[in-house]
Amino acid sequence: MPELYEVLSKEDIDKKVAAVARRISSDFKGSELVMIGVLKGSFVFLSDLARQLTIPVKIDFVGVSSYGDDVASSGRIQLNREIGIDIKEKNILVVEDIVDTGITINYLIDYLKSFNPLTISICTMIDKQQRRESEIRIDYACHEIQEGFIVGYGLDYAENYRHLPELYHLKL
Ligand code: PRP
């Protein structure tokens, strides 16, 4: 039976999301920002983050998957939803639930660059560094961890636990 150990409470998450939202609102004040959420995991974080911003934004989503029902990335990225709005010469904020190996975010940066945006910034709820395969500049990270499989607040294991309001370490 999998066991869950709380990593961040609802209150911890709220504070961290608010702090990052303040930085983003200040950094992009007066400029156009398009938030691109990476489905499915980012749906909870993006909705909280967007509502804490004090600047107007546009929102779109891309769908990618690499983990299937496994705890380790397959390394093969499937793009199952393309962006649907024009991002040419726009400032883009990619919103992830977690950056782990970095394979997904690197793939997405290349994909988004092909639409000629002005800038691409990366925002993640969890920055997990232990398995990072190449150096990635993460502009906004709410919480850093070294190891462990994290679920809740949008993150799943075999599609379970996404609905939990807190973040947990899953022990199988
Ligand atoms: C997760 C997460 C990131 C990616 C990060 O997605 O949402 O997109 O893995 O891992 P990486 O840095 O090792 O590439 P997943 O493939 O589990 O799909 P999901 O968002 O639908 O859960």
Instruction: State residue 148's pLDDT score.
Output: 93
DSSP string, 50-65: HHH-SS-EEEEEEEEE
Contact 167/126 with Cβ under 8 angstroms?
A: yes
Instruction: State residue 161's pLDDT score.
Output: 98
User: Residue 27 catalytic?
Assistant: no
Instruction: State residue 76's pLDDT score.
Output: 81
Instruction: State residue 19's pLDDT score.
Output: 98
Pairing label, strands 3-8, 78-81: unpaired
Instruction: State residue 113's pLDDT score.
Output: 98
Instruction: State residue 62's pLDDT score.
Output: 97
State the greatest distance between any 2 C-alpha atoms of the chain, in Å, as a whole number: 50
What number of other Cβ atoms are within 10 A of residue 89's Cβ?
Answer: 11
Instruction: State residue 71's pLDDT score.
Output: 66
pTM here is: 0.95
67 lines ligand 1 (CB under 6 A): yes
What number of other Cβ atoms are within 10 A of residue 88's Cβ?
Answer: 8
127 lines ligand 1 (CB under 6 A): no
Averaged pLDDT in 10-residue chunks for the chain of 172 residues: 95 98 98 96 98 98 81 78 97 97 94 98 96 93 95 96 98 92
| Ligand 1 atom nearest residue 155's Cα | 22
What number of other Cβ atoms are within 10 A of residue 156's Cβ?
Answer: 18
Rounded CA gap, 121 and 35, in Å? 10
Instruction: State residue 68's pLDDT score.
Output: 66
Instruction: State residue 106's pLDDT score.
Output: 94
Instruction: State residue 140's pLDDT score.
Output: 98
Catalytic residue, chosen from 100, 110, 139, 156, is 100
Q: Residue 56 Cα, ligand 1 centroid: separation in angstroms?
A: 27
**CA dihedral defined by 20, 165, 8, 63, rounded to 10 degrees?**
-60
